[in-house]
Structure 1
Amino acid sequence: MIIWKRLLPILALVALLAGCIPTQRQLTMERDLEEMKRRLAASERALASQQNQRGDETSNRLETLSRRQAELQANLDALRLEQQALNGRLADFSQADNELRDELSLVRDDLGLKISAIEDKLAKPTAKPQATQAPVAETPEDLYRRAVAMIRTEERHAEGRDLLQRFLQQHPQHSLSVNASYWVGEAYYGEKKYENAILQFQDVIDKHSDHPKAAAAQLKQGITFQTLGDNQSAKAIFNKLVDTFPLSAEAKEAKRRLSSMS
């Protein structure tokens, strides 16, 4: 299943950290991730079971379908709670946990997509499967995930950026459009096109100042200036980030970088 492929980087990271003495917080997070994977798998199995129901069902089969839908709704509610808990834990990560925090952010995005898909299926009546089905077109969410994977794990920055720009052209109002704009900036950074990255991050900041990715864009913009050796601009951006998003994990990282630059 797609979700397992998305979680492989998490498992690899946990294996890498196994040589170090794990903190209680890391152990707790690993247990939470295992529980989240179990819940996602259960939800996918329930959803697949629902989709395989056929028309002209007897009253007993309808009762079974209703019960499975109720179970699916219960799983969905549990996933929402997991998502809220994960959002809270991400804000507490220190600089030493940055790699794990970034990977968990992607898991959180994937979890949000899975919740949306389940909600959509619950809202639609179960249809009788057709004898022959046309090839399934790539969904906007699949396109987004494929592009981000190219940038994050495959280092195919230009290809991933092209896909994200196509995503933004085709789905400008999608709930993931701000995330896509941010990852375009990350792709430019990976290509060492630092000026383009700075402008792209500024576009996210200017157009979506109240979105969670605005803080991430501001932090990465400051880091990009640091990479260019412009510490004065980097300090100004980090200070603004601390003032604008004082309670964010990005502000904590900005403070750490400011202290190391003084």
Structure 2
Amino acid sequence: MRNVKMVITWIFLATVAFLGGCATTQDVLILDREMNRLQSQVNTLQKENQREKETTNRELAASRSGWKNELNTEIKKLQTDLLFRIEKNESEIRILTTGLDEYKDFAKRPSKDVERVREDVILRTRVLEERGKILEEKNRAKEERTKALEEKIRAMEERLKGMEGRVDWVASKQAEAEKAAIATKEVTPEAKGPATGMGELYKDAYETFQRGDTEGARKKFEAFLKQYPNTDLSDNAQFWIGEAYYGKKDFEKAILEYEKVIVKYPEGDKVPAALLKQAFAFLELGDKTNGRNLLRRTIERYPQSEQAEIAKKRLEAIK
């Protein structure tokens, strides 16, 4: 609109100038061209104004439509919320009314009934309290028993450690005794040759065992027994065959080989050790019944032996 006013002003000034002076033909032509140019600008400005007006009208119409939709949506939400609140209030009123009716019915009952109900509630509360106390006492007793068991387990572990050390000590003593027996065996001059061969065979097998070659030692001890089945060293050889299987954790075969020591050489000095190790093998297999029985037999038959002391400690540990 401002541009239109400026164009009109220019036209007015040009007309005044034309009328107020002596205009030539050239001035008239110039003025005519200027008038045409200004008229063209006016037309262009009018078209732009019309387009802007139409655009503005469309935007206003769209805005009005959007506002109407938003208002309708908001109104629907308010209506829904209002209905929900009304239904909720009605539900609460019904609940309160029902509770009030029940209370009225309860109030109409004789006072004795009310008192009886109250006493029943008190009695049940006391019963629950007593049960709670009993449960607490039981829990405390369980905790004390658990602590006692934990202490026993720790004591048993300490005993087992001591027993393991004792077994190692006994094994070392047995090894020393074996070496001493080999070194001090005396033979008559007539039997010197064969006895020396027997001692060498036994010594070789025993040293093989000491080096950790249990399989090789077992074969050598078996060869020794085939050649010398009834000598002072035969029960020892049979015992070490059982030890070879025990070291390989083949406990079933170890039990059978220890049994041969007990049956074939009942007067031999390896019987207590065979009984003890047989018990250990059964325990390793999880057979506590036979394990306990053999430990007791070791104690009963050889009460003064080192194996009996070890058996006593092991019995206490597996109770």
- What is the TM-score of this pair, normalised by structure 2? 0.45
Q: 1:109 offset after TM fit, Å?
A: 2.5
1:14-163 matched pairs, under 5 angstroms: 96-117=165-186, 120=188, 139-151=197-209, 153-163=210-220
Amino acid at match of 1:150: T
2:247 & 2:168 partners in 1: Cα distance?
Answer: 16
Let me know the Cα RMSD of the aligned residues.
2.4
Distance 1:190 1:96, change over 3 A: closer
Partner of 2:287: 230
Find the partner of 1:250 among 279, 296, 307.
Answer: 307
CA distance in structure 2 between the partners assigned to 1:114 and 1:156 by the alignment: 22
Identity, in percent, stands at 29
Partners of 1:207 and 1:112 lie apart in 2 by: 20
For structure 1, which runs of at least 5 residues remain unmatched after alignment? 1-93, 125-136
Report what 1:183 is aligned to: 240
Cα contact 1:95–1:253 (8 A) shared by 2: no
Shift in Å at residue 138 of structure 1?
Answer: 7.5
**Offset, 1:227:** 1.1
Measure the CA separation in 1 of the matches of 2:267 and 2:196: 30
Distance across 2 between alignment mates of 1:98 and 1:235: 17
Counterpart residue type for residue 202 of structure 1: E
Q: How many residue pairs get matched?
A: 154
Kept after mapping to 2: 8 A contact 1:198/1:221:
yes
Where does the alignment leave 5 or more consecutive residues of structure 2 unmatched?
1-162
Partners of 2:220 and 2:300 lie apart in 1 by: 34
Q: Retained in 1: the 8 A contact 2:182–2:203?
A: no
Once the 2 structures are TM-superposed, how far is the Cα of residue 217 of structure 1 from its aligned partner?
Answer: 0.2
Q: Is the 8 A contact 1:201 1:218 kept in 2?
A: yes
Q: CA deviation at 1:193?
A: 1.7
Q: Displacement, 1:206?
A: 1.6
Question: More relative contact order in 1 or in 2 (CA 8 Å, sep 6+)?
Answer: 1
Q: What stretches of structure 1 move > 3 A for 4+ residues in a row?
A: 94-98
- The answer to whether the 8 A contact 1:179-1:213 is kept is yes
Higher helix share: 2
| Bigger Rg over Cα | 2
Matched, 1:203 2:203: no
Specify the code of the residue in structure 1 equivalent to 2:276.
Answer: L
